[in-house]
Chains A and B, each alone.
Chain A
Amino acid sequence: MNDLEDRIANALNAHVDHELGARRPAPPFTPPIRERRRSPWVLPLTAAACVAAIVGGTVAASRLLAKHDDAPGTHHTTVASPTPVPTVRVSDARIAVPRGWAVRKAAAPQRGWGWCIVPTGAAAHACTVSLLRISGAPAEVAQSFDVDSPGVIGDPPQFVCGDVSAPRTETYAVRSFGGQPAQWRRWDAHCARTGHSLRIEQWSDASVPTWVMSGSSVDGGGAMSTVMAYVAKHSELRVTTGPARAMDRGVIRAVHPTATGVRIELDRTVLVRSLGTIRDANPDPATYEYVVPRAIWSGAHVKVGQRIRLWTDGRTVQKLEPDVPTSS
């Protein structure tokens, strides 16, 4: 190799080393199980990620309402990677934050369940990135939290542009959050009238307990995104306590009677709201089973082929309803 070729090889390797860090083992590979059955959903996930969206309103990226009292506690050092990353224990997870950032219990009353990731020394009310843990308790299930929505719980944040809603685009991908598969979303809205833009970003691991990390930023967001990516990459979420997701959405493909109710096969869909329309993305070729007690099944009045939302305690469905999404 001549000098130029050496420079290229060195630069490329340094760039990749810089981006990826030390070598890590491959994540678990789950093989594709079942081919998708509906042709409209054969479209790749990324096509859905290009769709654009709408909504209006102001502020608040996250409506993170949690009810956990656990405060950040003991500092630990992970040993999984060659370069130890300092972590903070938060409930049953270990959360890693970049240098100069800290995890603290959310101060505002409505954030009583959660935590905030903020720059060290930030004002008491500051909450750059919110962290929420949902255990699947009945009170949480009753609120019908939705991992496909910004903020997950409560009304989604809005971005008012004069007297109308600002167009909002939504980007979706599956990423790893603390070692768990998670839904990653970013909503971007821009108000041409005011020149301001709003970015909301959210990572949600929908297993039980559910962890949701979200943040919002007006006329910015790069630093927030970087912090969230760091937290997602270096944190360690607990091992799932139940085999089923805390919340799911999809089309019922089959119903099998059991002694205590039914067992349903759910073809999962991911909701992507775009430019005033709502689309289902179906990136996952697998079908999922849920156990539904008889009382819940008979009260839901749903049938095969219908799209539903359901909530579980990690094992059994606690609530099930037809899914009639709104554009917000």
Chain B
Amino acid sequence: MVVGVEPRLTRPVLEPPGQAMFDVLYREQWWPMLRLATGLVDTVGAAEDVVQDAFVALYRNWSSLRDSAAAVGYLRTSVVNGSRSALRRRITARRHLHAVVEPPVEGADASSVLAAEHQIVVQALAGLGRRQREVLVLRYLAGLPDPDIAEATGLSEAGVRSAASRGLAALRTILKEES
């Protein structure tokens, strides 16, 4: 987790070719994974942690991967699983912190406010069940096809289609009520 210049007892885990591939993958995939995690969890800080943990896990398991394409799938699955855990922990923590939890406050740096139309949709998405929300985020934020969503979520492709269909139906109802 800690990134620094301290005198670590360096013992590289990866051999040079693997290290170079990992470095490229990290540079290229960090931002897309952060965007995905931000769509799945409720704070940027939590999203950054999820992504960092995903890359650490990938690094440790690099030797067991088939190829770099598999690495992206591995990362995506890690991010989805990590986001689930982060939200679960957040809910647990909030139960114990009920007395001091505050409502979200608009950021002092919020020079541009999210459009009301987008807020309505995002809030409606947040009200869906976990599985439906994950599938819709992976499909419409990450733009993934159903097989990739199935791999990331652990659902079957039929399950992905079903969750998406039910999620869209629920959203349609919610948004109709909102308007």
Using a CB–CB distance below 8 Å, which chain A residues touch chain B?
A: 4-5, 7-16, 18-20, 23-34, 45-46, 49-50, 52, 98-101, 169, 171, 173-176, 180-181, 184, 188-190, 192, 197, 199, 207, 220-223, 225-227, 229-230, 240, 243-245, 265, 283-284, 286-290
Stretch at the interface among B8-16, B63-71, B72-80, B147-155: B8-16
B81 at the interface (CB under 8 A from A): no
Q: How far is the CA of A245 from the CA of B48 in the complex (A)?
A: 23
Chain A residues near B121 (CB-CB < 8 A): 7-8, 10-12
Chain B contact-residue range equals 35 or more
A222 and B104 contact, CB distance less than 8 A: yes
Q: Provide the residues of chain B in CB contact with A34, threshold 8 Å.
A: 9, 11
Would B1 and A222 count as touching, CB distance under 8 A?
no
**Which residues of A have CB within 8 Å of B35?**
16, 20
Chain A nearest CB: distance from B170 CB in Å? 11
Interface residues of A, dominant DSSP:
mixed
Binary contact readout B106-147 vs A (1 if CB under 8 angstroms, 0 otherwise): 111101101101111110010000000000110011010000
Q: Which residues of B contact A27 (CB under 8 A)?
A: 3, 30
Q: Are A9 and B6 in contact (CB under 8 A)?
A: no
Q: A4-B168, A33-B9 in contact; A98/B93 too (CB < 8 A)?
A: no
A23 to B35, CA, bound (A): 10
The smallest beta-carbon distance between B13 and chain A, in angstroms, is 6
Closest to A15 in B: B122
B158 at the A/B interface (Cβ < 8 Å)?
Answer: no
Cβ-defined contact, A11 with B122, below 8 A: yes
Interface readout for B40-66 with A: 1 if CB under 8 Å, 0 if not?
000011001100000110011000000
Q: Give min CB distance, A280 to chain B, whole Å.
A: 15
